[in-house]
Amino acid sequence: MTPIILASTSRYRAELLARLGLDFETINPGVDETGYRASNGRELASALAHAKAIALADSNPGRIVIGSDQVAVCDGRFLGKPGSTEAAVEQLLFQRGKTTLFETAVCVLDASGSSNLECVTTLVQWLDSSQISDDLISNYVRREQPMDCAGAAKSEGLGVALISQMRSDDPTALIGLPLIALTGLLRKAGIEPLSKP
């Protein structure tokens, strides 16, 4: 049995965690995200990341559980995973020429049940309509299929061509799991990624 659980079904988060070379298992935390409310994206992402970690704690005693969540907010509007081509296009048209705040939280529950959490903010400035037409946005959605990405932002792929500027303390945060923050939290939980032979 691996000591680490990633409380997520996101392939993006699993791919990012795999970069650390640690053995882990992914388990769906079964958290209903629709029941959570918050005044801002940071608060909501943090609450959801914590809820996902806690959801698996009782059934996995003595293991380290990682929960993570991302919330996108543009002009006061919370943008979730679009789920459909039409919704992805609509979200991107709404964000065009604006700045979106992506709040990516990660919570690590250690083997004793104590938790530590960090939230990383990424500011994304989108190109405006003089640079990116409706047709180009539709073409991006058709090619990248970003229906499972908050705000339809898939910066690790072709989505970068829609962005004029991106600012973050952690380049992996926008993809879904801030690895710089996570390695610090894992160290607090007794896991040193660099010690594995």
In the block, which residue shows the tokens 């010690």?
195
d(CA 176, CA 12): 7
Please give the Cα distance from 97 to 56 (Å, whole number).
Answer: 40
Report the Cα 133 to chain-centroid distance in Å: 27
Active site residues: 69
Q: Which residue has the tokens 């705040």?
A: 101
Cα 150 to Cα 91: distance, rounded to the nearest angstrom: 9
Give the amino acid at 184: G
Q: What is the mean pLDDT of each run of 10 residues along the chain (197 residues)?
A: 88 96 95 82 95 93 95 95 96 98 97 94 97 96 95 90 96 95 96 85
Q: In the Cβ-directed half-sphere of 86, how many Cα atoms lie within 13 Å?
A: 0
Helix (H, G, I), strand (E, B) or coil at 78: strand
Task: Note whether 52 and 104 are within 8 A (CB).
Answer: no
The predicted pLDDT at position 162 comes to 96
CATH numbers and ranges of domains, the chain:
4-195 (3.90.950.10)
